[in-house]
Amino acid sequence: MWRSLWRSIDRFSLQHFKYVINELRGIKVVDKHNSELVVDLLQSIAEIVTYGDRQDPLIFECFMEYQVLAEFVRVLKISRNSRIEAPLLQYLSIMIQNMDSEHAIYYCLSNGYINSIIAHQYNFDGGDLAPYYISFLRAVSSKINRDTLCLLVRVHGDAVVSFPLYSEALKFAQHGEKMIQTAVRALTLNIYNVSDDMVYQFVSIPPASKYFSDLVHSLKEQCVHLDSLVLATEGACTDQIRKELLLETDKIVDDLYYFKDILSVGESRLSEVVTQNLLNLFVFPILLPLLKLRRNDGSNLSAITSLYIVSRLLQVVGGKTIVNAVAEIVLYPFMGEIINGHLIGKPVSSHSPSINCSVDDSLCQKDVEQILASMIGLSGMQCGMDHDISASQVVDEIIFVKFMPQTSYEQSSERFKKELDGCWFDYILDTLRNEWTSCKAALEKPSQSKDPFFILELAVCQKITDDATSAYFSWQRMVDTVKVFILHLQLKAFICKGELLEKPLLAPLSSPAGSGRTHASDLSSASFGSEISLGSGIPCRIAFSNAGIRDIYMIPLARGTSGKLLLVEKHPFRSQQGVIIAITPLAGLSPKIDEDHPTWLHLRIREFDPRLNASKTKGYNAKGLNHAAEGRWTLGFPNAKACEAARLSILEEINKQKSSVRSTLAPLLQDNSDGSDEGSCRLAELEKKMRAGGCTVQQALTAEAATVVKQAVTLARRRGHAQVTPLHVASTMLAAPTGLLRTACLQSHSHPLQCKALELCFNVALNRLPASTSSPMLGTHSQQYPSISNALVAAFKRAQAHQRRGSIENQQQPLLAVKIELEQLIISILDDPSVSRVMREAGFSSTQVKSNVEQAVSLEICSQSAPSVTSKSKESNLTLSQSPPLSQVGAKASKPITSLDPIRNEDVMSVIDNLMNKRKRSIVIVGECLGSIEGVVKGVIDKVIKGDVPEALREVKFIPFPITSLSISPG
- DSSP labels for 288-350? HHHTTSS---S-SPPHHHHHHHHHHHHHHT--HHHHHHHHHHHTGGG--EEETTEEESS---T
Give a yes or no: residue 380 inside a domain. Answer: no
The answer on 633 and 559 residing in a single domain is yes
Sequence length of the chain is: 971
Helix 740-748 vs helix 822-830: angle between axes, to the nearest 10 degrees? 50
Range scoring the smallest mean pLDDT among 91-100, 193-202, 661-670: 661-670
| CATH number of domain containing 759 | 1.10.1780.10
The answer on 77 and 146 residing in a single domain is no
> Residue range 110-118: average pLDDT?
91
> Residue range 774-801: average pLDDT?
66
Q: What is the pLDDT of residue 362?
A: 39
Give a yes or no: residue 22 inside a domain. Answer: yes
Query: Do the Cβ atoms of 788 and 683 come closer than 8 Å?
Result: no
d(CA 902, CA 904): 5
The torsion angles phi and psi of 269, rounded to 5 degrees, stand at -65, -40
Question: How many helices and strands, by DSSP H and E, does the chain display?
Answer: 41, 16
Q: What is the pLDDT of residue 333?
A: 56
Q: What is the pLDDT of residue 232?
A: 82
Query: Do the Cβ atoms of 47 and 16 come closer than 8 Å?
Result: no
Rg (CA), the chain: 45
Work out the pLDDT band at 130, boundaries 50, 70, 90.
very high
* Residue 885 predicted with pLDDT over 90: no
d(CA 592, CA 594): 6
Q: Is the peptide bond before 885 cis (omega within 30 degrees of 0)?
A: no
Neighbouring CB atoms inside 10 A of 531's CB total 15
Highest mean pLDDT among 1-10, 129-138, 285-294, 930-939: 129-138
C-alpha torsion 181→83→123→187, nearest 10: 30
Query: Do the Cβ atoms of 513 and 672 come closer than 8 Å?
Result: no
Strand partners, 602: 592, 634
Q: What is the pLDDT of residue 647?
A: 92
> Residue range 273-285: average pLDDT?
90
**Measured CA angle at 638 (ends 637, 641), to 5 deg:** 80
d(CA 203, CA 213): 12
Highest mean pLDDT among 322-331, 466-475, 764-773, 788-797: 788-797
Q: CB under 8 Å to 607, separation ≥6 — which residues?
A: 471, 629, 630, 631
d(CA 678, CA 493): 12
Give a yes or no: residue 774 inside a domain. Answer: no
Give a yes or no: residue 268 inside a domain. Answer: no
d(CA 700, CA 686): 10
DSSP alpha helix (H) spans, 670-789: 678-681, 683-690, 697-700, 703-718, 726-735, 740-748, 752-768
Q: Which amino acid is at 505?
A: L
The answer on 847 and 723 residing in a single domain is yes
Query: Do the Cβ atoms of 263 and 271 come closer than 8 Å?
Result: yes
> Residue range 373-379: average pLDDT?
35
Give a yes or no: residue 849 inside a domain. Answer: yes
The answer on 836 and 731 residing in a single domain is yes
Highest mean pLDDT among 146-155, 323-332, 952-961: 146-155
Counting residues of the chain whose pLDDT is more than 70, the rounded percentage is 71
* Residue 927 predicted with pLDDT over 60: yes
Q: What is the pLDDT of residue 525?
A: 65
Q: What is the pLDDT of residue 96?
A: 92
The one-character DSSP state at 568 is: E
Buried b (16+ CB within 10 A) or exposed e, 465-501: eeeeebbbbbbbbbbebbbbbbbbbbbbebbbebebb
* Residue 212 predicted with pLDDT over 90: yes
Give a yes or no: residue 451 inside a domain. Answer: yes
Secondary element (H or E) of residue 808:
helix 808-811
DSSP alpha helix (H) spans, 98-148: 102-109, 113-119, 129-141
Q: What is the pTM of this model?
A: 0.54
Q: What is the pLDDT of residue 632?
A: 85
Tens digits of per-residue pLDDT, 818-858?
A: 678 888 888 889 989 899 888 888 888 888 888 888 887 77
The answer on 755 and 838 residing in a single domain is yes
* Residue 593 predicted with pLDDT over 90: yes
Neighbouring CB atoms inside 10 A of 525's CB total 10
| Beta strand 337-339 pairing with 577-585 | unpaired
Q: What is the pLDDT of residue 394?
A: 33
The answer on 747 and 613 residing in a single domain is no
Query: Do the Cβ atoms of 563 and 557 come closer than 8 Å?
Result: yes
Neighbouring CB atoms inside 10 A of 361's CB total 11
Strand partners, 380: none
| Beta strand 787-788 pairing with 723-724 | parallel
Highest mean pLDDT among 240-244, 260-264, 316-320, 524-528: 260-264
The answer on 924 and 840 residing in a single domain is no
Range scoring the smallest mean pLDDT among 155-164, 666-675, 693-702: 693-702
Q: Which amino acid is at 468?
A: A
Q: Which residue has the higher pLDDT, 558 or 358?
A: 558
Query: Do the Cβ atoms of 713 and 786 come closer than 8 Å?
Result: yes
Secondary structure (H, E, C), 774-799: CCHHHCCCCCCCCEECHHHHHHHHHH
Q: Select from 831, 860, 889 the last residue of a domain.
A: 860
Q: What is the pLDDT of residue 817?
A: 54
Neighbouring CB atoms inside 10 A of 606's CB total 21
Q: What is the pLDDT of residue 375?
A: 35
Q: What is the pLDDT of residue 470?
A: 73
Counting residues of the chain whose pLDDT is more than 90, the rounded percentage is 24
The answer on 708 and 604 residing in a single domain is no
Q: Select from 172, 205, 238 the last residue of a domain.
A: 205
The answer on 850 and 744 residing in a single domain is yes
Neighbouring CB atoms inside 10 A of 126's CB total 6
d(CA 884, CA 871): 10
Q: What is the pLDDT of residue 406?
A: 52
Secondary element (H or E) of residue 624:
none
> Residue range 863-882: average pLDDT?
37
Question: What does the mean pLDDT of the chain come to?
Answer: 75
Query: Do the Cβ atoms of 443 and 501 come closer than 8 Å?
Result: no
Tens digits of per-residue pLDDT, 436-453?
A: 988 888 888 776 667 788
d(CA 922, CA 919): 9
d(CA 785, CA 498): 10
d(CA 441, CA 451): 15
| CATH number of domain containing 552 | 2.30.29.30
The answer on 853 and 719 residing in a single domain is yes
Domain that holds residue 621: 523-668
d(CA 215, CA 34): 43
Q: Which of 37, 98, 105, 36 is nearest to 69 (CA)?
A: 105
Tens digits of per-residue pLDDT, 293-332?
A: 555 555 678 888 888 898 889 889 988 888 888 877 776 6
The number of domains in the chain is 6
* Residue 675 predicted with pLDDT over 50: no
> Residue range 416-433: average pLDDT?
89
First-to-last CA distance in the chain? Answer: 129
Give a yes or no: residue 57 inside a domain. Answer: yes
Range scoring the smallest mean pLDDT among 99-103, 649-653, 780-784: 780-784
Range scoring the smallest mean pLDDT among 79-88, 337-346, 401-410: 337-346
The answer on 173 and 68 residing in a single domain is no
Give the E-state strand segments of 576-651 in sequence order. Answer: 577-585, 592-593, 600-605, 631-636
Q: What is the pLDDT of residue 275?
A: 92
Give a yes or no: residue 387 inside a domain. Answer: no
d(CA 191, CA 141): 7
Query: Do the Cβ atoms of 553 and 531 come closer than 8 Å?
Result: no
- CB < 8 Å & 24+ apart, contacts of 159-166: 159/198, 159/201, 159/202, 160/198, 160/199, 160/201, 160/202, 163/199, 163/202, 163/208, 164/115, 164/118, 164/119, 165/114, 165/115, 165/118, 165/137, 165/140, 165/141, 165/191, 166/191, 166/202, 166/203, 166/208
Query: Do the Cβ atoms of 566 and 588 come closer than 8 Å?
Result: no
The answer on 838 and 931 residing in a single domain is no
> Residue range 586-597: average pLDDT?
90
* Residue 17 predicted with pLDDT over 80: yes
Helix, strand or coil, per DSSP, at residue 869: coil
* Cα dihedral across residues 49, 51, 56, 57: positive or negative: positive
d(CA 889, CA 801): 37
Q: CB under 8 Å to 936, separation ≥6 — which residues?
A: 904, 907, 908, 911, 925, 927
Give the E-state strand segments of 573-684 in sequence order. Answer: 577-585, 592-593, 600-605, 631-636
Q: Which amino acid is at 219?
A: L
- Estimate to the nearest angstrom the gap between the alpha carbon of 318 and the chain centroid: 17
d(CA 926, CA 928): 7
Burial of 893 (0-12, 13-18, 19+ CB in 10 A): middle
* Residue 761 predicted with pLDDT over 90: no
Helix, strand or coil, per DSSP, at residue 948: coil
Q: Select from 624, 651, 668 the last residue of a domain.
A: 668
Tens digits of per-residue pLDDT, 51-87?
A: 988 888 899 899 999 999 999 999 999 987 778 899 9
